[in-house]
């Protein structure tokens, strides 16, 4: 039973210790991003990880982690088990539950993934958690955000002297840079990236031994909620509507769903871990 291996992945470190991310180094972020505009080749993996850590530390400043090491450890176990099934298993994967009532989840380049307490509380099984984390893992695998940063950097930095931004800490160029790093998390990715993350995320969850319907059932939960609910505002702004995502999944993924619908859901274990 592959899922039993989850328990063996138990990490002795409290989850908080895994999130000692370096504080934002604008100098490093800017240099990297600026070079990207000129570079013909892709961003190297160590730079991808560094950019991601800088962005993650900014996002953590906006919403702290839930101060529950056991919960953080549990979500890390599930996430790392999923990531271990992928071609980028070697990345420094880390998963964090943000202490926020809104429903959201997002991925940062290099393997850092956040999910909000609000979204976690709407889920009913580990398979559903795996479906959502699988979706976010795909964003990292396929470098969706990294490519968006790469593209956006050229516009954001246009006409702004890099040295000005660094010298004048209160100036508009500096503000622009700071805003740039987090902006894409309020704007969202291309729809095609989101639908790809749904499809491949389902494959990863199924490969890890979970009921492949985990992600679709979360989308059904979202669809059943009041679309005017302010807790959904950001997720609905940054993702295609749940109904559209479900349609796209049904169109392309039905055989995968059917073949893996009797795999583990682990509802009891999930509820025990989440609602303690």
Q: Show the binding pattern over residues 153-182: x = contacts Zn ion (CB under 5 A), - = does not.
A: ------------------------------
> Exposed e or buried b for every residue in 248-266, given b needs 16+ CB within 10 A?
bbeeebeebbeebeebbbb
The residues, ordered by sequence, that sit 6+ positions from 238 with a Cβ below 8 Å of its Cβ are: 185, 186, 187, 188, 189
- Angle CA 265–270–271, to nearest 5: 120
Q: Are strands 94-98 and 112-116 parallel, antiparallel or unpaired?
A: parallel
CB of 258 to Zn ion, least distance (A): 24
Considering beta carbons, is residue 142 or 207 the nearer one to Zn ion?
142
CB of 173 to Zn ion, least distance (A): 30
Residues 180-199 close enough to bind Zn ion by CB under 5 A:
194, 197
Length in residues, the chain:
276
Q: Show the binding pattern over residues 56-95: x = contacts Zn ion (CB under 5 A), - = does not.
A: ----------------------------------------
Considering beta carbons, is residue 63 or 271 the nearer one to Zn ion?
63
CB of 79 to Zn ion, least distance (A): 15
Considering beta carbons, is residue 48 or 194 the nearer one to Zn ion?
194
Considering beta carbons, is residue 134 or 181 the nearer one to Zn ion?
134
The residues, ordered by sequence, that sit 6+ positions from 205 with a Cβ below 8 Å of its Cβ are: 82, 127, 130, 131, 134, 211, 212, 214, 215
CB of 123 to Zn ion, least distance (A): 16
Measured between alpha carbons, how far is 166 from 209 in angstroms, rounded to an integer? 48
CB of 8 to Zn ion, least distance (A): 30
Total of chain residues touching Zn ion, rule CB under 5 A: 2
Considering beta carbons, is residue 79 or 264 the nearer one to Zn ion?
79
Interacting residues toward Zn ion by CB under 5 A: 194, 197
């Amino acid at each position: 039973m592959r899922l039993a291996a989850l328990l063996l992945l138990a990490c002795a470190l409290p989850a908080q210790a895994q999130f000692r991310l370096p504080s934002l180094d604008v100098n490093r972020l800017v240099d990297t991003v600026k070079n990207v505009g000129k570079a013909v080749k892709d961003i190297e993996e160590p730079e991808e990880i560094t950019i991601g850590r800088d962005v993650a530390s900014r996002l953590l400043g906006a919403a702290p982690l839930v101060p529950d090491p056991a919960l953080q450890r549990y979500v890390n176990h599930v996430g790392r088990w999923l990531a271990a099934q992928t071609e980028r298993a070697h990345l420094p994967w880390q998963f964090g539950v943000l202490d926020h009532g809104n429903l959201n989840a997002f991925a940062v380049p290099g393997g850092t993934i956040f999910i909000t307490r609000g979204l976690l509380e709407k889920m009913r099984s580990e398979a559903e958690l795996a479906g959502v984390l699988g979706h976010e893992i795909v964003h990292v695998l396929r470098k969706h955000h990294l490519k968006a940063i790469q593209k956006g950097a050229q516009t954001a930095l246009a006409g702004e002297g890099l040295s000005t931004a660094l010298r004048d800490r209160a100036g508009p160029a500096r503000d622009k840079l700071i805003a740039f790093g987090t902006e894409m998390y309020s704007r969202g990715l291309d729809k095609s990236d989101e639908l790809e993350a749904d499809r491949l995320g389902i494959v990863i969850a199924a490969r890890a031994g979970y009921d492949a319907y985990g992600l679709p059932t979360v989308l059904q939960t979202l669809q059943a909620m009041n679309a005017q609910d302010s807790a959904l505002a950001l997720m609905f702004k940054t993702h295609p509507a749940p109904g559209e995502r479900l349609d796209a999944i049904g169109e392309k993924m039905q055989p995968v769903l059917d073949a893996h619908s009797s795999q583990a859901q682990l509802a009891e274990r999930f509820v025990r871990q989440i609602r303690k």
